[in-house]
Structure formats: C-alpha cells, structure tokens
Amino acid sequence: MSTKMIAAGASALALTTVLAAPASAGPTYTSENGGSFQWYGQVNPTFQSYDDGEEDFSRLLDNANSGSRLGFWVEQPFGENTLKFRFETSLSLRGTDGVNQNDQGDVTDWTRSDLRHVDLQWHTPRSGVFSIGQGSMAADGATGIDLSGTGVAANASVADAAGGYFLRDAAGALTGVEVGDVFATFDGSRRGRIRYDSPEFAGFTISASYGEDILTENADTEQYDIALNYANDDLGDFTVEGAVAVNWTDRSGAERRDTIASAAVLHEPTGLSLSVAGGDRDTGGNYGFVKVGYTASLIAAGKTSFSMDYYDGSDMASVGDTAESFGIAAVQKFDKQNLEAYVAYREYSYDDTATTYQDGQAILAGARWKF
C-alpha cells in the first residue's frame, strides 16, 4: 500500500505540473438586448490503480466522480424573468467506473446517452423555475451534499472510483459481482423531464419532476420524484446544507421507491466539516455514509482539504449481504488556474450469505481543470 501511495502521489504531482497553466475561462458574449452566451467545461484525467486481491491494474482514465464535460448557456431576460437554455455533454472518455479485469474499453465512445442537458428553463423570481428537456430530475444530487472540499476525489458515490471491477471469491476466481452492483447510493437521475422548483423561502426549496429515459433505446422507464433542499451560509460560524428526496421508478412494469437524503455542516473558522448520506430502496437495499473533513489555507495557491469517510450498506444484491467501504482523500486547489489536484485511497469489502469475497483497493491521483 505504501509503494502505491508514493506512486500515486508522484503521478498527481506530475499531472499537476502539466496542467497547472493559466486557465482560459470560457468567455461570455452579450447582445444589445441583454442576451448572453457562455460556454464552460472541465477535464478530469486521473491515474487509477486497483488491487482485486490477486492482481493489480493501473490505467490513465477519466474520473467518474466528476467526469470530463463540455457545455454552454444561452440566456435572455424578459423583464424580471429570464429564459435560459443549457446544453451539456459528457466527453465520454474511458472512466474509472467503466473498466474491469477483462476489458478496458475504448478511449472514447460517445453515444446519445452521454447528453447530460438539453434543457429549456423559465426563471421567475415570484413563481420559481419551470424546466423542460433532458436534465436533472428533482432527486438528482440529493445524496451528494458535501462541504469537505474533497468531493472530486471521494464522496458518497464510493463506486465511482472502481465500479466496473469484478470481485474475487476466496479461491481467487472472478465472480459476476461488480463493485458498482453492491455499493449504490440510489441518487436521482437525468431524464427527459418536466420539472418545477419553488422560490427559496428561509433557505428551503421544493422541487418536483416527471420524466422518462428518452436516450436509451427501448428503455421503457418512467420516473417521478419530489425533493426538499436547504442551504444557509449565514448561521453564525456555520454553513449548513441538506436535501431529502423520494423517487418512484416504473421500469417495464416493475415499480420501486427510493428514499434518499444527505446533509453537511461546515464550521468556517476551523475548516472542520461533517457530511452524512443515506438511502433505502423498498425492493431491497439500504446504506449509510459519513464523512469528516478539514480545510485549511496551507499555501498561497489555494485551500488544502483532507477527508475520511465510511460507507455501510446491506441487502444490495441479495438478502443478508453486507458492503463496507473506507476512504481517505486530499485535494489541493490552485485558484488562479481553476485546478484541483488530488489523491485518494479506497477499500471495498463485500460478503453475502453464500460466498466470501476478497477485498479490493483503489487509488486515484489526478487533477480537475475547469474552464
């Protein structure tokens, strides 16, 4: 483990040196009638090392915790209201959750399912926001509230670091169980949907949506959900955020209900933070996640953040199974370059009533550059 951590740290330093050049942020173009156009994006290459208990695999990939993407906003005000259009696509680079022992996939393989947003929005200060098109359902992100500063490297979606790898049994044979199968969060989706977000009241916002999977052929998937969000950065020395959501899914006649939530609190003077998340699926599966973080201004370039987290799940793939994950992460920001360099280590442990599986370990070292 120590050798791997040294190698990962060296890779992160090298990657930071390559990418730590002045960022060319996407310009904003404006028209005489107040309209505007702005493009944006990010790239997030990472070195991944995975040990499945028998073999090691090392690859340069795209970090699925926050994948590379490109998009733009078009906005046009109409009095106090604003019409907005958003387009965003994943770059569909080979991701940390999309490789395994037998297949590392194509370097890039774009399909229409990589469209993240094709979304028309009507923003009103009095009545809220009305949206239609491909985009986030109300429950999307409800498990991801995090104020630790290390979310790019470690968060409640613990499978993002190595979700495609197969677990090995005690004899060393590969099983059909993938890491992503048994470390779920039940977070909301992006769908072709209609959505409503209420105006903010005392920090609270209510959202609701109805959508279908319009990008996958023959998906036959319908969803509707409701979410309550809270954010307040003016509670004395504390910033508090939280979300709770319920999502109903009908897929080819099979129905399920997911109840999910997350919350985070940051003590600004000390930089200490606490994040929690959890979820329950009525057809089987539940989990809890807790994370402690610390952020400090150690160097002039930007803030440095550290975190430790723990995930505990059960009944994910079969009744009586258990899934545990422990992770640590460090992230260094470079404010002038819009860059975050990071290194993270994660362990996966899973067992069911019939089979004993070997533990897996993943290391990520990379950098996210936003523009």
pLDDT tens digit string along 160-180? 999 999 999 999 999 999 999
Of the pLDDT bands very low, low, confident and very high (cuts 50, 70, 90), residue 25 is low
pLDDT tens-place string over residues 287-343:
999 999 999 999 999 999 999 999 999 999 999 999 999 999 999 999 999 999 999
User: Do 237 and 269 contact (CB within 8 A), yes or no?
Assistant: yes
Of the pLDDT bands very low, low, confident and very high (cuts 50, 70, 90), residue 2 is very low
Q: Indicate if the pLDDT at residue 4 is higher than 50.
A: no
Per-residue pLDDT at 112? 94
Q: What domains can be seen in the chain, in order of their start residue?
A: 2-370 (2.40.160.10)
Q: Indicate if the pLDDT at residue 146 is higher than 90.
A: yes
Q: Indicate if the pLDDT at residue 208 is higher than 80.
A: yes
